[in-house]
Chain A
Amino acid sequence: MLNVNELEVKPGDPVLPAWKRLLSWIRRAKVITGPGIRLSFTPQGVVATVNREETPWRHPWRVSVGTHAIVSPGTVEGIQAYMRDDITKKMLRLDERDEDGELTGDGPPKLKIDFKKHDDEGKFWIWLNADIDEDLKIDAANPEAVTVTQERRERTFGQPLALVYLDESRTSVINTFQISHHNYKLIIQEQETGLPRRLFIPE
């Protein structure tokens, strides 16, 4: 990078060394256009306009919904979530791995969307559920302990991942709003009455 101060010449000293430094810097500092970059040469200087294709943020629980829902991997207390896959009809891990942690190569589980399962306004939720045992802990060995499901209304337990709006005919998705962006820790609070409540806190 050019330090302009280094080009200053003391009165009486030759300019040539500074000139050579400037030429060297110009050769190195040539601006080359690439994809999405445009150079405009104006009387005030060169304007480089950069239109970058941003890499989307690949956060946990990213939900995309069409006829099926695909949810990017996420964890609760470090435990991978499962979802019922419409093709194999099995509960599969969102991170496309088997119980031994090996990649299956089958792709992510695809949850079949039930277009009759929505509220009066034509919306439904993709919901994260975490079941706890008598010790108030998640049973990590149980593939049904941390699951992702479609719900027609808010559930008392669990965490909404995304809200999905259907069109007026209730046959296709018009909008999906992501609600959750983090992996979670689970805090269990026992209540005076009823079941303990489950609070999902970002990790």
Chain B
Amino acid sequence: MFEIPAELWNRDVVGTLRKRIPFRIREIGSRKWKHPFKHSVRWDGENWLLQVNPGFVNANPVEVTTSGKYISPASIIKHTVQNDEEDVRLPITEYPEVQVFDWRGIGSGADPLVSGIDASGSVEESFEPVPEFFQNQGVLEESRNIDSSFATGVTITEGERPQDARLLRAFDTYIEVPRLETVVDWSFGTVLEATLATFTISYKEPEDDTAILYNTAKFTPETVPSEIDLLAGIFSDSQKDQMKMATVYFLSAPGADPSDELDDTWTPFVAHDVFFNLSHRLKTIPEPTKVESNTLQTGLAGGIADPIIGGLLAQNNDLLNNAQQIYNARSTGGTFWSV
């Protein structure tokens, strides 16, 4: 009787099965529910275009600005767009597309997020970390070495990159909602009443409170000034609230170079931060026309009130606490939540 040697069986039968199992399953034509603000990107032959599934802030659709060539014929008529290049702002319920202009590198070949020089002249750099998912796809962290000192100058040694390594690029999307601004004005008493400092808090309504969607290489939330700085008038209230919506990543084919164009050889992936429509409310609802005067005993000597409010506040903790409490109760910074 003919016998199959174990080696032949293991190589030809078991080896073939290892390659074929499990089956590859491909899903097409899905009618899955698409959540609000779901991002899709496509290559139109020249550019990457972003489209965001309709999403709402409070009762109204978010709007976006794009070129006439990326909107539907119905939108062209509705918004009386004259030509393809004309910028038009329209609600995302009209399904406009937006050209992706700006992106950042992550990992190999990326620019540093932060770099600085210490007292000895050493250069320190930090880079945005590569998400684990993309590390598993072959994207490496940036690993260049910088030798530097005031004596020897700077030598940059690029880390070695395997020939089949992949590169990663990304951009972020966010929305901005204009809101009521809290305005602080200070005045001081006359010589006779120089121990009194008065600050008034008033509100400035935004001209347009529509939520707008933006895309940018990297979303950096506006730095929120401290209450003391806002109170002192050193910084003004930002008049808007922001919310990051998603990061869109592009993964290169193996062996790509950092100088390569972002074209259709890159594969897009979307990481959403928001999956439902949003509510946005101010912390408080003051009457926009309300102007309140708050008089504080400064304790300063008559006639020499410090004109620099920061300095004034620093001299008197009680004054600072009182003023801060009043400001905090009147400031209008808003909050988002999903509905």
Query: Which positions in A face B, CB cutoff 8 Å?
Result: 2, 4, 7-15, 18-19, 22, 31, 45-54, 56-57, 125, 154, 159-160, 163, 165, 175, 177, 179-182, 184, 191-194, 197, 199-202
Contact = CB atoms under 8 A, between A and B. Distances in A.
Given A2-B21, A45-B24, A199-B279, A182 B339 contact: yes
B156 interface: no
Contact of B287 (A56, A193, A202): A193
B310 interface: no
List the 3 shortest-distance A-B pairs measured between CB atoms, nearest first: A160-B59, A9-B6, A54-B31
Given A181-B339, A182-B339, A50 B285 contact: no
A163 B56 contact: yes
29 contacts: A4-B17, A13-B6, A15-B6, A18-B9, A19-B9, A45-B23, A46-B23, A47-B24, A49-B26, A50-B26, A50-B28, A51-B28, A52-B27, A56-B33, A159-B279, A163-B60, A175-B93, A177-B54, A177-B61, A179-B56, A179-B277, A180-B277, A181-B277, A182-B276, A182-B339, A191-B284, A192-B284, A199-B281, A202-B276
Nearest to B285: A191
Contacts of B58: 154, 160
Interface of B: 3-7, 9-10, 13-14, 17-18, 20-21, 23-33, 54, 56, 58-61, 93, 276-277, 279, 281, 284-287, 337-339
A7 B60 contact: no
A165 B59 CA distance: 13
B178 to A, nearest CB: 16
A177 B56 contact: yes
Given A52-B31, A175-B93, 6 more contacts: A18-B14, A53-B31, A56-B31, A177-B93, A191-B284, A191-B285
